[in-house]
A and B are shown apart, each in its own frame.
Chain A
Amino acid sequence: MNIYVLVKRTFDTEERIVVSGGKIQEDGAEFIINPYDEYAIEEAIQVRDAQGGEVTVLTMGGEEAEKQLRTALAMGADKAVLINTEDDVEDMDEFAAAFVISEYLKDKNPDLILAGNVAIDGGSGQVGPRVAESLGINYVTTITNLEINGTTVTIKRDVEGDTEVLETSLPLLVTAQQGLNEPRYPSLPGIMKAKKKPLEEVELDDLDIDEDDVEAKTETIEIYLPPKKEAGKVLEGELADQVKELVQLLHSEAKVV
Chain B
Amino acid sequence: MSNKVLVLGEAREGALRNVSYEAIAAAKQISDGGEVVSVLLGDSVGELAAELGKYGADRVITVEHPHLKQYTSDGFGQALLAVIDQENPEVIVFGHTALGKDLSPKIASKLQIGLISDVTSIEGEGDAAVFIRPIYSGKAFEKVKVKDGIKFITIRPNNIAPLAKDDSKSADVSSLSVDITNLRTIIKEVVRKSSEGVDLSEAKVVIAGGRGVKSEEGFGPLKELADVLGGAVGASRGACDADYCDYSLQIGQTGKVVTPDLYIAAGISGAIQHLAGMSNSKIIVAINKDPEANIFKVADYGIVGDLFEVVPMLTEEFKKLKVNA
Q: Which positions in A face B, CB cutoff 8 Å?
A: 11, 13-14, 17, 19, 24, 35-36, 93-95, 98, 120-130, 132-134, 138-142, 154, 159-169, 177-179, 216-226, 229, 232-235, 239-240, 242-244, 246-247, 249-251, 254, 256-257
Whether A141 and B102, one on each chain, are in contact in the complex, defined by CB atoms closer than 8 angstroms, is yes
Q: Does B262 touch A at the CB level, under 8 Å?
A: yes
**Are A221 and B143 CB-contacts (below 8 A) given A161-B194, A243-B310?**
yes
Could you give 22 example pairs across A and B, Cβ below 8 Å?
A13-B137, A120-B136, A123-B136, A133-B106, A133-B109, A141-B101, A141-B102, A160-B98, A161-B193, A161-B194, A161-B246, A162-B194, A163-B190, A164-B187, A166-B186, A232-B284, A240-B313, A246-B314, A254-B300, A256-B204, A256-B261, A256-B283
Task: Tell me, in angstroms, the Cα distance from A254 to B284 when the chains sit together.
Answer: 10
Contacts of A246 in B (CB 8 A): 285, 301, 303, 314, 317
Whether A223 and B135, one on each chain, are in contact in the complex, defined by CB atoms closer than 8 angstroms, is yes
Contact of B137 among A123, A166, A239 (CB under 8 A): A123
Contacts of A128 in B (CB 8 A): 105
Contacts of B286 in A (CB 8 A): 232
**Are A161 and B200 CB-contacts (below 8 A) given A223-B142, A242-B305?**
yes
- Taking CB atoms and an 8 Å cut-off, the chain B residues in 295-316 that contact chain A are 296-305, 309-310, 313-314
Q: Which positions in B face A, CB cutoff 8 Å?
A: 73-74, 97-98, 101-102, 104-106, 108-110, 112-118, 130, 133-147, 149, 184-194, 200-201, 204-205, 229, 246-249, 253-256, 261-262, 272, 276, 280, 282-286, 291, 296-305, 309-310, 313-314, 317-318, 321
Contact of A243 among B145, B146, B186, B317 (CB under 8 A): B317
| Closest B residue, CB atoms, query A225 | B140
**Are A142 and B98 CB-contacts (below 8 A) given A133-B110, A168-B184, A216-B114?**
yes
Whether A217 and B140, one on each chain, are in contact in the complex, defined by CB atoms closer than 8 angstroms, is no
Contact of B190 among A121, A164, A168, A257 (CB under 8 A): A164
Contacts of A154 in B (CB 8 A): 188
Task: Tell me, in angstroms, the Cα distance from A17 to B279 when the chains sit together.
Answer: 15
| Closest B residue, CB atoms, query A251 | B321
Known contacts A160-B97, A179-B247; 5 additional CB pairs below 8 A are A129-B105, A160-B256, A163-B190, A254-B301, A257-B205
Whether A233 and B146, one on each chain, are in contact in the complex, defined by CB atoms closer than 8 angstroms, is no
